[in-house]
Chain A
Amino acid sequence: MPSADNHTLVKPMQLPPPPRSRFQFSLRIILLVTAVVAVWTAEIVNRREIPFLQRRIAAMRPIARELSIKDPAKIAVVKCEELWYDENEWDVYLPEGKFELKVATQEIDDRNQPAEYKSVFLPSGQFRLAITQQKTDTGWRVSVTKDDQEILTADEPPEWYPASGSSGGGNFSVSETLEETTPVVLFRRRFTRPLNKTSNQVPKDPCEGVLLWIEAAP
């Protein structure tokens, strides 16, 4: 204390700082914790959402019927959605190389390709193929178009298909990637024959029908 006789200053007593509580943090730590929670919450939400999106996409892709070209060196094909009865169209991608489109209407079995057929060369690239079977004045006509241009036809007499029914249809309801070394069978249909007076059956032997396929040209 200063006295009246001399002016010596005395330092005031400094109280020690109050003890820090265990749960008392600096502002910097609080901000850092907030940032950690924000970042990791967003990460957890993403991790939950990603598998859900992958599942939904996997379920929707077959419905969309889109051509998926996964390897430009391989064939890709998908059958377009049928919007009317007996509508058969495909989106096709062919890599560089020589390919033939073949159609047969006789001697069709359930797995092989017959020796007799009509064919046309196909270019590489992407295009749409369609096949129709229509009654004409003289019998039946099987017509194949590429991007709406007719490229192959086969005419058959009325007895070729007596409207007795058939078995089979178009393939590739889901987009597929295929090696160019194996035939790509787009459509296989075999006509039934009378089994007795009341029922028909697809014969075990090769029979009349329609077979459409793509094969690498020699």
Chain B
Amino acid sequence: MAQRIVEVVLVLMIVIGAALLWRSANVRSELTAEYDRLVRKTGQLPIGDETKVHIRALEIDEPGHYAWRAYFPPNYAFSYATGMGGGSSSRSSAWEGILRVRIRNTDKGFMVYTRLVGGSSLRGYGSGKLRDLFHRRPGLLQELQVNQLGADELTVFDATEAQTLLEVALPEKLLAEIKEQVTLNEYNEITPFIERIRIGPTGFEERERAAAATGQAPQ
């Protein structure tokens, strides 16, 4: 008799559990399909430690076009330095989005578009001579030497660390040709990198410059 009661209770638990499982499995299936669709569109960014910065490069099949999926933790106060200058931002809540840098070799010159958190900028390089040199090489974007953070794997770092997001350099053969034809200022403007973007905690650039001046490691 006792066993019979136990069996009835177990069967009831199975029936109730199966009904709930059927419903939750349907919901999970729909959410998983939506999640997979969004991952295909925006890229995969698994967030492990929510207190750290996560950055992963997106695969883009266009020369001169670089993008990253990024996660910034809550209360992340950061600044960034580009060839054009820099900026800073801070957010009390976590932020996720896409960072983008795009380079175009146009008839107006070599243009670099940067969109990081909080704004975008456009920078053009060179006077007439440099512009002509770039214009005469329509395949220049395929020749750029690029070092992109998170290109091989997800990069996770502490909010107190500074990282180099992107370094883009012109091919050495072209640099040798340019050096003979432009002014020293123009040459220095595009070497060693035509664009270099670093990101780190607020004030990291000043600390690095101060450390470099004194020969000590930056804090």
Contacts and interface: CB of A to CB of B under 8 A. Distances in A.
Contacts of A57: 31, 34-35, 38
A70 to B, nearest CB: 15
Interface in B23-42: 24-25, 27-28, 31-32, 34-35, 38-39, 41-42
Interface in A46-78: 46-47, 49-50, 53-54, 56-57, 59-64, 66
A15 interface: no
A138 B216 CA distance: 57
> Main SS of chain B's interface residues?
helix
Contacts of A86: 122
B121 interface: yes
B31 A32 contact: no
A50 B25 CA distance: 9
A113 B123 CA distance: 33
Contacts of B120: 82, 85
* Interface size range on B against A: 35 or more
Contacts of A82: 115, 120
A46 B38 contact: no
B82 to A, nearest CB: 14
B211 interface: no
A57 B13 CA distance: 32
Contacts of B7: 28-29, 32
Interface stretch (A36-44, A122-130, A189-197): A36-44
B11 interface: yes
A81 interface: yes
A33 B25 CA distance: 21
A35 interface: yes
A32 B69 CA distance: 47
B102 interface: yes
A43 B20 contact: yes
Interface in A1-58: 25-26, 28-29, 32-33, 35-36, 39-40, 42-43, 46-47, 49-50, 53-54, 56-57
A32 B10 contact: yes
Interface string B31-60: 110110011011000000000000000000
Contacts of A42: 21, 25
A36 B42 contact: no
A115 interface: no
Nearest to A51: B31
Interface residues of A, number: 33
A43 B115 CA distance: 43
Contacts of A28: 7
A36 B122 CA distance: 62
Interface stretch (B93-101, B172-180, B194-202): B93-101
Nearest to A35: B14
Given A29-B6, A39-B18, A83-B100, A50 B11 contact: no
Contacts of B87: none
Contact of B96 (A25, A46, A47, A60): A60
Contacts of A39: 13-14, 17-18, 21
Nearest to B29: A46
B122 A85 contact: yes
Q: Which 9 A-B pairs have the closest CB atoms?
A: A39-B17, A85-B122, A46-B24, A32-B10, A53-B31, A60-B38, A43-B21, A63-B42, A40-B17
Interface of B: 3, 6-7, 10-11, 13-14, 17-18, 20-21, 24-25, 27-28, 31-32, 34-35, 38-39, 41-42, 69, 96-98, 100, 102, 104, 113, 115, 120-122
16 contacts: A26-B3, A32-B11, A40-B17, A46-B21, A50-B24, A50-B28, A53-B32, A53-B35, A57-B35, A57-B38, A60-B39, A63-B42, A63-B97, A83-B102, A84-B104, A85-B120
Given A35-B10, A63-B38, 4 more contacts: A46-B21, A46-B24, A49-B28, A63-B69
Interface of A: 25-26, 28-29, 32-33, 35-36, 39-40, 42-43, 46-47, 49-50, 53-54, 56-57, 59-64, 66, 81-86
